[in-house]
Amino acid sequence: MSGTDTTRILRVYEQQLERPRFFSSKFETPPQNFHDDHNVEFDIVRQGQDIAVAVPNRAAGPRLVEVKKYQNQSLEPITFKYEARIGAHEIKKRMAGQSPYESPAANAAAIKLALREARKIETMIRDATEQFCAQILTTGTLTATDENGDTVAGPYNFFPLDATGTLASGDLIVTTDTEWAEDGSTGNPLSDMQTLDGNVRARGYNPTEAYYGSSAWQRFIANSDVKDQANFRRINTVDINPAPTPAGAIHMGRFMINENPYDCFVYNGTYKAPNGGASTRYLDSEKVVIRDPVPGGLELTFGEIDYFEQARDTRAIPFLPRQMNFSDRGFGLTMYAYFSPDAQTLVICAGTRVLPIAKAIDSFACIDVTP
């Protein structure tokens, strides 16, 4: 026999964390980057900084100019595939937020559980994509590993080769010679940043954004040379006014480097590493990335997952689209559902084939401030 006391069922709290997407937000996803092909291929035409050279006199013949050379890359995207299984007996049980005195509506319960699983899969893949983008911006390369740390895709190299066939990124992915001390007693942050800035500008780019790990920022502003520049009177070369950004970083303000204004960000976003489960920063706390936000320089691509259309059961979740592409959000996902032959299980499948690519391969650089 039930008791005589009444009970109010309050609304359920379902944790939906605002996950950091700072690095992946820097990668564009135009509509043509959603595809169903095996590889993605792109060409890079480099303009350089050559100036015109005069001929000896008006009767001299013209000099030859050539713009037909380009660099080509063909890469296979990285595949993610997940499935979630919902047993028929599960939808008869009370769900979070549901009154224990009401019989669950089977169809509504199945749909709610399926969408909850799909959101989880989307979040996991978007977190992995953020980590891929972080790899590119801090190392110039990309490698995908599994839960055991074994390589499953890559490495992809996004830096050009020089005439000897070796990486030409030696002055773009660097480590400082002298550590930026936490108390500012050692290191040359301004000089290091000025050198890195000059190396990117030597390629013709105009870096205007700097992304600091939290420790790198604290070490930077603790330095006496940095403090002296910030203390200039009547010269507005520094404007420190922290404000959060929607993508999960903190915009600290502006700072002049080599007479060039930089928007400075501190990024502390973390993820749970698949091999060990440790909380890991997307941007190492002791690293700084500088970048020219040139249009089309960084892009994301998303490929569809292959499956037999005939096997898709439209009765499972009738409104479930085969492919969901969001150019404005930078994400694409293939989804389908079917019932097991014994009608005991609803299977939700979701996945994508993602690949972030760097086309403006010399438009960013990274320095580790703790050798």
Q: In the chain, pLDDT over 70 holds for what percent of residues?
A: 85
| DSSP conformation class of 155 | E
Residue 111, pLDDT > 80, answer no
- Give tens-digit pLDDT for 31-83: 999 999 999 999 887 777 778 889 898 899 898 887 767 778 899 999 999 99
CA dihedral 99, 100, 103, 109 (to 10 degrees): 60
What is the average per-residue pLDDT within 19-29? 94
- The backbone torsions φ and ψ at residue 350, rounded to the nearest 5 degrees and listed phi first, read -150, 145
What is the average per-residue pLDDT within 312-332? 74
Question: CA–CA separation, 205 vs 364, rounded Å?
Answer: 9
203 to 126, 165, 206, 364: CA distances (angstroms) = 32, 19, 9, 10
Instruction: Retrieve residue 10's tokens.
Output: 């309050």
In the chain, domain spans? 31-46+75-368
Which of 314 and 146 is assigned the larger pLDDT? 146
The CATH number for 31-46+75-368, chosen from 3.10.129.10, 3.90.79.10, 3.30.1930.10, 3.10.520.10, is: 3.30.1930.10
Which pLDDT does position 38 carry in this prediction?
A: 94
Residue 359, pLDDT > 60, answer yes
Residue 234, pLDDT > 50, answer no
Q: How confident is the model at residue 1 (pLDDT cuts 50, 70, 90)?
A: very low
Residue 369 contacts by C-beta under 8 Å, 6 or more apart in sequence?
A: 176, 179, 180, 187, 189, 192, 215, 216, 219, 220, 286, 287, 288
| C-alpha Rg value of the chain to the nearest Å | 26
- C-beta separation of 13 from 285 below 8 A: no
- What angle is formed at CA 136 by the lines to CA 288 and CA 240, rounded to 5 degrees? 25
- Give tens-digit pLDDT for 77-99: 999 999 988 888 777 666 565 55
Which pLDDT does position 354 carry in this prediction?
A: 96
Which residue, 1, 45, 75, 157, is CA-closest to 354?
75
pTM here is 0.87
Task: Assign 28 to helix, strand or coil.
Answer: strand
Which pLDDT does position 95 carry in this prediction?
A: 57
